[in-house]
Amino acid sequence: MKNTPIVYHPIGIIHSEHVVAEHTPIQPIFARGCKGRAEIYPQFAEGLQDLEGFSHLYLVYHFDRAGPAKLLVKPFLQDVVHGVFATRAPYRPNPIGLSIVELVRREENVLFLDGVDILDGTPLLDIKPYTARFDRIDTTRNGWQDEVDEEAAQKRGRRGYGSK
Amino acid sequence: MKNTPIVYHPIGIIHSEHVVAEHTPIQPIFARGCKGRAEIYPQFAEGLQDLEGFSHLYLVYHFDRAGPAKLLVKPFLQDVVHGVFATRAPYRPNPIGLSIVELVRREENVLFLDGVDILDGTPLLDIKPYTARFDRIDTTRNGWQDEVDEEAAQKRGRRGYGSK
C-alpha cells in the first residue's frame, strides 16, 4: 500500500464575509452575492497570467477548521446518512475543498470573486480555470441529490445567508 | 503570510492503461473509452456508500510524476504561454490533479471508471460526486480555451490515444 505523506504549501489565502462555519452557504450556488477575494502570495503571481479571460474558476483549498474525518455523514441537504465521498461535506479523510466561483476581476495578485462559500482565512492550494469543454456534463445521474427538490435545497443550502 | 505545510495521505490508488505521460490524454473528454479503476484502501471503504448513484465523479489526485513547478506554461492545446493557474497543466506549485470521470460501477472498495486521463499508479486524495446542481455552469467565458477549435482540441488532447 502506497501511503507516502503528500505535503503541500498554500499559494494564498481566501478572504470572505463568512466567519462562522454554521452560517456559511454550503456551495457557491447558494452564495450568489457573497463577495470574497483570493490573495495569491507574490511569488506565485506570475502564474495568474490570462486567468482573467475565464468567468469561473475552481478553487482547491484546505478545510482548516473541518474537525476530524467521518466516513458516514448526514449532508446539509438531506436527513439521510451517506458515505462522505458521496457528499461534499468538509469532514473528509483529506479535508480538500472544491468550489466553482465567479471571477469578477483580477488586480495583480488579488482575485475578486462572487459566489464565495468559503470561510474567511482559508488556505488556498490551487486554482484551475472552469472550462465548459471539460467541465460541463449535460447528462448526469446525481444520486441522492436528485431526491432533494430545489426549494428545500435553496432553503437548507444558504444556511441563513440572504435572510438577514 | 500563513504558510504552514499541509499534509495529506492517499485514500487509494488509480489504475489505468496509461503508463507514459506523453501519451496520456489530457482530459477525460479526450479519453472516452479509457477504462480504469480507483482502488480505495479498505479503511476508507465505508465512505463510498451511495456513491454508485452518481454517474460522474471528481477525482482529486496527486501528480506524482509532474516534475518541478512552472509558473508560465505552454498548454497542450495551444502554442501560447499562459500562467499555470489559467491552464490544467500538471506542473503546478501544488501538483493537484482534478478529473471528472464516469463511474461505471462499484464493487465494494473498487470503482470501475471510464474516461480516465490519469497515469497508472497515481495516488488518490479525494472523491466528490459531480452534481449538476453545483457543477454545471451553463454560461461561461473560457479565456484562451475559447480560441481553440474543437477539431484541434480533439487532435491535440488525445495525444495519440485512439489512433493506434
Closest A-chain CA to B7: A7
Residues in Cβ contact with A28 at an 8 Å cutoff, skipping those fewer than 6 apart: A99, A100, A101, A102, A115, A116, A117, B134
Q: Mean pLDDT across the stretch A111-130?
A: 96
Amino acid identity for residue B161 in this structure: Y
pLDDT at A164 (0 to 100): 43
Q: Which of A9, A27, A49 minimises the CB distance to B83?
A: A49
Contacts of B135 in chain A (CB under 8 A): 100, 135, 137
Give pLDDT tens digits for B121-152: 999 999 999 999 889 988 889 989 988 888 88
Our CA-based measurement puts residue B119 at a distance from the nearest CA of chain A, in whole angstroms, of 15
CB contact under 8 A, B100 and A135: yes
Three-state SS string across chain B, please? CCCCCEEECCCEEEEECCCCHHHCCCCHHHCCCCEEEEEECHHHHHHHCCHHHECEEEEEEECCCCCCCCCEECCCCCCCCEEHHHCCCCCCCCCEEEEEEEEEEEECCEEEEECCCCCCCEEEEEEEECCHHHHCCCCCCEHHHHHCCHHHHHHHHHCCCCCC
Does the beta-carbon distance from B46 to A72 stay under 8 Å? Answer: yes
- Architecture in CATH of A12-65+94-131: Beta Barrel (2.40)
- Residue of chain A whose alpha carbon sits nearest to that of B42: A1
B125/A13 touch (CB, cutoff 8 Å), yes or no: no
B164 has pLDDT over 70 = no
Q: Does the pLDDT value for residue A2 go beyond 80?
A: no
pLDDT in tens, B38-97: 999 999 999 999 999 999 999 999 999 998 999 999 988 888 999 999 999 999 999 999
Cβ–Cβ under 8 Å, residues B122 and B61: yes
Determine the Cα–Cα distance for residues A85 and B48; give it in Å rounded to an integer. Answer: 5
From the CB of residue A69, how many other CB atoms can be counted at a distance below 10 Å? 17
Query: Domain ranges in chain A?
Result: 12-65+94-131
Is it the case that residue A163 has pLDDT exceeding 60?
no
Chain B partners within 8 Å of A143 (Cβ): 50-54, 129
pLDDT mean over B100-122: 96
Choose among B27, B56, B128: nearest Cβ to A140: B56
pLDDT computed for residue A31 by the predictor? 81
What distance in Å separates the CA atoms of residue B80 and residue B95, rounded to the nearest whole number? 21
- B-interface mutation test, from A131, A136, A147, most B Cβ less than 10 A away: A131
Q: What is the DSSP letter of A158?
A: H
Please enumerate in sequence order all residues whose Cβ is within 8 A of that of B12, keeping only pairs 6 or more positions apart, or say none.
B38, B39, B40, B41, B44, B109, B123, B124
ipTM for the whole predicted complex goes beyond 0.90: yes
C-alpha cell at B27: 482530459
Start-to-end CA distance of chain A, whole Å, equals: 50
Question: Is B123 within 8 Å of A93 when comparing Cβ atoms?
Answer: no
Would you call B60 and A62 a contact, using CB atoms and an 8 Å cutoff?
A: no
Q: Across the interface, do A62 and B128 touch by the CB < 8 Å criterion?
A: no
CATH 2.40.30.70 fits B14-66+94-158, yes or no: yes
Do B60 and A96 make contact, defined as CB atoms within 8 angstroms? yes
Q: How confident is the model at residue B163 (pLDDT cuts 50, 70, 90)?
A: low
Query: Which one of A140, A150, A158 makes the best mutation probe of the B interface by having the most chain B beta carbons within 10 Å?
Result: A140
CB contact under 8 Å between B129 and A145, yes or no, is: yes
Q: What is the mean pLDDT of residues B7-24?
A: 93
Yes or no, beta carbons of B136 and A137 under 8 Å apart: yes
Expressed in percent and rounded to 5, the helix, strand and coil fractions of chain A are 25, 30, 45
